[in-house]
Amino acid sequence: MGNEIEFVGFSDDCRVEGKIDLADARLADMLNGNRTIIVREVTLVSTVDGHTKEMKQLEIDRDELDIVVASGPRGDPKRRLATKPNGVSMKLGPYSAEGFMHAPPTANPVRGIRHGPAMVAITDAVLEYKFCDEPVSQWFRTILVNRDLAISLRTVSSPNGLQHGAA
């Protein structure tokens, strides 16, 4: 069994909160390496009407998750590559996300997204959605977006008016 970490994910109609056993170095590696994950001590929160449902355990298919909040370790610093932050704006189901996607300095992250892993990191991210018909805007250091569920992706010069690392 790996390290236990907090889990927060967003599907089309609810937020999934709970705990997972991290079986890889990073949450992104685990999500990209497995079609399903097991979440324990689960609370489902409907974004439509706010009602909650608690469960002991839930198996979730990666394709049911639009967005996951990155948590746990960042991975081995020796394996990190030099990248350049690129401002992006995405639409995934009922969610909009803006932030920075990191890619090699000469790469275009929008063009290259289909050739990479399913779950892609966006840093200094602002996630916007409706909760009980009220607008919500939340900032996260890093979110993992499911590129397979992206409706649109475009580059922006300064996501949410921020410069990288200025949040």
pLDDT of residue 105 exceeding 90, the answer is no
Amino acid 1: pLDDT: 47
pLDDT of residue 139 exceeding 90, the answer is yes
pTM: 0.86
pLDDT of residue 158 exceeding 60, the answer is yes
Beta bridge partners of 55: 42
Mean pLDDT of 128-140: 97
Name the average pLDDT for the chain.
86
Amino acid 72: pLDDT: 67
Structure token digits, residue 73: 């370790």
**Percent of the chain clearing pLDDT 70 (strictly above):** 79
Mean pLDDT of 38-58: 97
What is the number of residues in the chain?
Answer: 167
Residue with the bigger pLDDT between 73 and 58: it is 58
Backbone angles phi, psi at 65, to 5 degrees: -105, 115
Residue 133, phi-psi category: left (phi > 0), alpha (psi -120 to 50), beta (remainder): left
Where do you find CATH 2.30.30.100 in the chain? 3-69, 77-160
Amino acid 101: pLDDT: 87
- How many CB atoms sit inside 10 A of residue 58's CB? 16
In whole angstroms, give the CA distance from residue 67 to residue 64.
Answer: 9
Cβ-based neighbours of 76, under 8 Å, separated by 6 or more: 25
pLDDT of residue 112 exceeding 80, the answer is no
Residue with tokens 């996300």, as numbered in its chain:
97
pLDDT of residue 89 exceeding 70, the answer is yes
Cβ-based neighbours of 117, under 8 Å, separated by 6 or more: 28, 32, 147
Domain 77-160, CATH class in plain words? mainly beta
CB of 155 closer than 8 Å to CB of 88: yes
Domain 3-69, CATH class in plain words? mainly beta
∠ CA 41-45-50, nearest 5°, is 150
Amino acid 85: pLDDT: 82
- Report CA-CA distances (Å) from 9 to 12, 70, 77: 10, 9, 25
In whole angstroms, give the CA distance from residue 111 to residue 64.
Answer: 24
